[in-house]
Homo-oligomer: A and B are copies of this chain.
Amino acid sequence: MEVSREQQAIREFADARDWGRFHTPKNLAMALAGEAGELLALFQWLTPEQSSEIMDTESADHVRDELADVFIYALRLSDVLDVDLGAAVASKLKKNASRYTVHDSFGNAEKR
């Protein structure tokens, strides 16, 4: 998947429906969090082990759809804010590498 091509498809989808005025960054951040909440709900009563096998259950399509919704809103929000996602992800991974060194964080996911 190439991010900029998807962003263009999503932009055209929104433009065709005149959704620009709904798609403020504030509203898109809300929609993104709402979809992340729907994804979360699919896992809420599962044991860790059950969660690892969710794609072998009848929830699989639902998971794919909710993951796609999260991506779609995150791509749209980045586009509206004119954030270069590739650069943002690269920069954050670099920060994470110095914040969570292999030495300090081996086997330990504690937030720093």
Q: What is the total number of residues of chain A having a CB less than 8 Å from a CB of chain B?
A: 75
Let me know if B30 and A44 touch, CB within 8 A: yes
Report the bound CA distance from A6 to B9 in whole Å: 21
Let me know if A42 and B29 touch, CB within 8 A: yes
Query: Can you list 24 pairs linking A and B with CB atoms under 8 Å apart?
Result: A9-B93, A27-B48, A29-B39, A30-B40, A30-B41, A30-B44, A31-B41, A33-B36, A33-B40, A34-B37, A34-B44, A35-B37, A37-B41, A47-B48, A48-B48, A55-B82, A55-B83, A64-B88, A65-B95, A67-B81, A67-B85, A67-B88, A68-B91, A71-B88
By a beta-carbon cutoff of 8 Å, the part of chain A in contact with chain B is 1-4, 6, 9-10, 13, 16-19, 22, 24-27, 29-48, 51-52, 54-55, 63-65, 67-72, 74, 77-78, 81-83, 85-86, 88-89, 91-93, 95-97, 100, 102, 105-111
